[in-house]
Structure 1
Amino acid sequence: MRYEKGRKDASRQRIMDVATEKFRSDGIAASGLAGIMNAAGLTNGAFYPHFPSKAALVRETLAAALKDQSDQTRDLLEAGGLPLAIDAYLSAEHRDNPGTGCASAALLPEIAREPAETREVYTEHVLKLIRLVAAQLPGDASEREDVAFGIFATLIGALELSRAVEGAELSDRILVAGAAAAKQMLAPHQGQPAKDKLS
């Protein structure tokens, strides 16, 4: 029984890993369950013992992707603060690998069309990410979160635009411009101590 449980857990994780990458690289609507299961090396019938529906899989993979992003952001903030996190987000490497990158930049239009339950999961995790960034800024909670939302929106928009245009030179220029705009939002707060620590 212990072997069977371990194998079931491994199969579930394999489905999650494949789906997370496929949703971000190909989109939710374009990623059918048959393709996900085939890429995971499993039969279609093996899906339902793990997830009741594709919508449930979307929710779980979205939550996992955003948690990973929060963990990575925390590491970057601890290593070099917000400027380093901004540069990492708007890097050529991140732009060129949507399957392992920011779920928001890859999926926002589709998330907006998902059921309320999925959008609630997304909202919960995005707010955690925003508060993680806001904790690096001075001022009251509402003011800090507003700045963090502005930075996040700028980063997502710049990354999406850099992926959409044709030509590496223009794409790189958008990344640089987006990073400069995001850092400009930090300018009024430079040299002021953050009131909160990372948690």
Structure 2
Amino acid sequence: MVRYEKGHKDETRRQILDVASAQFRESGIAAVGLAGIMSEAGLTNGAFYTHFASKEDLVREVLLDALSRREQRHKDNLENGVELETTIRDYLSLRHRDRAGTGCPTAALAAEIARHPKATRDVFTGKISDIIALMAQQIRHGSADERRRKAIAIYAAMVGALQLSRAVNDRQLSEEILENAVEAALDLAGRR
């Protein structure tokens, strides 16, 4: 029997999550198989079930992990006084557009998540609600309800614009989508 060092199981789980997260965002959940994830992680298929009950369990864990990381970035921005404009410009950047595998899981996976079971959508919904609440805190003017409405509209515009910019095959149009979405989001935020 092979004995592993303490923490090996956690490291292996982290490796599976990281590989799955990148592959799901890059290719879509439906297009990615467990065999491909495990192969890229350098593990056998059988090792998967030591860490996850099913592919759907993995999807939920990937969403929770990736969206928690994005939420932490929003918290850090808020704590460090980073303006919402910076968040908007970073999100709607060419770099973010071109790096789906490491980018926002919402823009990469929202359409697919809508067709997943309630438990998966519950994880997604909870994290999106948290991110919207943090964005609302970055909006300085208006009542709490007004700031929340603006944050929802800004986030929805950002996600949709990023998705469109990735989907079109005309580079100039893609860049126009991002640039105009930045301007619209800033107008919504009242920063202009």
Calculate the TM-score normalised by the size of structure 1.
0.90
1:186 aligns with 2:164: no
Q: Which runs of 5+ in 2 are unaligned?
A: none
Q: Which residue does the alignment assign to 1:173?
A: 176
Give deviations 1:46-98, integer Å, cap 9, x for gaps: 00010011111000110111111112233344353110000000000000000
Q: Distance in 1 between matches of 2:36 and 2:24?
A: 11
Counterparts in 2 of 1:9-158, with a 5 A limit?
9-77=10-78, 78=80, 80-137=82-139, 138-158=141-161
> Which aligned runs of 4 or more in structure 1 are off by greater than 6 angstroms?
none
Letter in 2 for 1:86: I
**Percentage of matched positions with identical amino acids:** 50
Paired residues of 1:70 and 1:129 also in contact (CA < 8 A): yes
Q: Which runs of 5+ in 1 are unaligned?
A: 192-199
Q: Secondary structure at the match of 1:47?
A: helix
Letter in 1 for 2:39: N
Q: Distance in 2 between matches of 1:4 and 1:57?
A: 24
Q: Distance in 2 between matches of 1:96 and 1:171?
A: 11
RMSD: 1.8
Paired residues of 1:76 and 1:84 also in contact (CA < 8 A): no
Instruction: Provide the aligned length of Structure 1 versus Structure 2.
Output: 189
Paired residues of 1:131 and 1:145 also in contact (CA < 8 A): yes
Paired residues of 1:66 and 1:125 also in contact (CA < 8 A): yes
Q: Distance in 2 between matches of 1:124 and 1:161?
A: 24
Q: Distance in 2 between matches of 1:8 and 1:64?
A: 17
The CA deviation at 1:10 is 1.0
